[in-house]
Amino acid sequence: MNEFKVRASSWGSLFDCAHRWEGEHILGMRKPSGLRAQLGTGIHAGTAAFDSGNLTGAPITVDEAAEVFVQALKNPEQDVDYKQDDLTILDAEKIGLVLTVKYCTEIAPRMDYVSVEMPLEPLLITCGDVIVKLTGTMDRARVVRSAGGKVINDLKTGGRVIANGAVVVQGRSAQLGTYQIMSEQTDGEATVGSQITGLQTTSKAAVGVSRVFDAKRIMLGTEDEKGLIEYAAGMFKTGLFPPNPQSQLCSQKYCARWGTCMYHE
């Protein structure tokens, strides 16, 4: 059998434009990330350091978390196209520092985390002669007493993660549902839902936490409706990864397959 190793964090984009996803994750067509993506990486590093310290009984200060952010922002581990986004390093640093501080002082004290940056056991999906091996590290898991159990919490950064004062959850179920399944497989503990912590990387930096939603159901389906796992299995069995020219990411900026794709305008 052929085995494809895929990051669970990419799973959602398979259902946005499977053609783009195939190009990147199966054919190996990659583009350097932009500065906004690197800004998100830095924010993840700083906030994770702060939460990990609190969870393990070795807390760090907000200033120390901010320093972790700055170091991660300025020392990328992958290629970064600094001309891709309308943003300077100085602007990114300013935005990231505000968001890191806001997270550490406004969001973290409200959370009851049981894990931070937890490696998950791979999830194997058999698709005919192909095995898809999903791997990943889960941002956070927390206990939400009002929801009745463990909730998977994922940090999202970007310019549109908060709309009309609420954290956007649309389009997140494929990735978060995968994390729910993988988390339950890893530690044997049931999850009751997923949640997004949004950190808006605009000049008007804002943070927030979404409602709890059932992402796992979308992946597994019901007695009457197929889940996304079954639809994905069909793509791998047939080798057909359909394009989506209406995707918001259908552009030369975001798609490594753009130059050879005949389906965009």
Q: What pLDDT shows up at residue 1?
A: 67
2-238: CATH topology is: Lambda Exonuclease; Chain A (3.90.320)
242-249 contacts, C-beta under 8 A, 24 or more apart: 242/18, 242/19, 243/17, 243/18, 243/19, 243/20, 244/16, 244/17, 244/18, 244/19, 244/20, 247/16, 247/17, 247/20, 248/16, 249/13, 249/16, 249/17, 249/20
Residues of the chain with pLDDT under 50: none
Domain residue extents for the chain = 2-238
Q: What pLDDT shows up at residue 145?
A: 67
Write down the residue that tokens 């399944």 correspond to. 181
Q: What pLDDT shows up at residue 86?
A: 87
Total length of the chain: 265
